[in-house]
Amino acid sequence: MFLNYIKQFFKKISFCENQIKSQDFDFCQETNYPNNACSAQWMLLYCTISSLDEVPSKEALESIRIFISNLPDTCINTTIGDCYTEKVKNSYELLQKFTTRKEFLVWLCLVENQCRENIGLNLKSCRYSQLINRWK
Name 105's Cβ contacts closer than 8 Å, sequence gap at least 6: 46, 49, 50, 128, 131, 132, 135
pLDDT in tens, 42-68: 999 999 999 999 999 999 999 999 999
- From CA 101, how far away is CA 19, in angstroms rounded? 35
- Place 14 in a pLDDT band, splitting at 50, 70 and 90: very low
Which residue segments constitute the domains of the chain, with CATH numbers given? 38-135 (1.20.120.310)
Name all contacts of 120-124 with Cβ < 8 Å and 24+ positions apart. 120/22, 121/22, 121/23, 121/25, 124/29
CA distance linking residue 131 with residue 78, whole number of Å: 25
Given a cut of 80, is residue 37 above it in pLDDT?
A: yes
- The answer on pLDDT for 114 being more than 90 is yes
Task: With both helix axes pointing from N to C terminus, report the angle between 37-50 and 2-14 in degrees, rounded to the nearest 10.
Answer: 140
Which tens digit of pLDDT belongs to each residue from 64-93?
Answer: 999 999 999 999 988 889 999 999 999 999
